[in-house]
Amino acid sequence: MPISRIANDSRIIDICKELLNDDVYLFKDMAVLKEPNADGFELHQDYAWWQPVDNNNFKILNPSKIISVVISINEATE
């Protein structure tokens, strides 16, 4: 299933809209593949990396209006 199809699922969109109190748009997608028994990711914030940009006339002027969504597509044990 393409990431864009998952990202445009109304269950995700509706939650993001409610959290941001605004319309939402997919700005970037990414798939992370983790090998079995590999370490995961430490808890972190992406806010510092999001700076005001103009991406193909789509302006992001307020990084506090950006939300990251992580979806595990395999069973998680921890």
Whether residue 75 lies inside any domain: the answer is no
Please determine, for residue 6, whether its predicted confidence score (pLDDT) is greater than 70: yes
- The model's pTM: 0.63
d(CA 13, CA 9): 6
Whether residue 78 lies inside any domain: the answer is no
Q: What is the model's pLDDT at position 14?
A: 96
- The number of folded domains in the chain is 1
Whether residue 73 lies inside any domain: the answer is no
Please determine, for residue 38, whether its predicted confidence score (pLDDT) is greater than 70: yes
Domain of 38? 3-65
Mean pLDDT of the chain: 77
Distances, alpha carbon 21 to alpha carbons 17, 49, 51, 57, 64, in Å: 5, 22, 20, 22, 12
Whether residue 77 lies inside any domain: the answer is no
Whether residue 46 lies inside any domain: the answer is yes
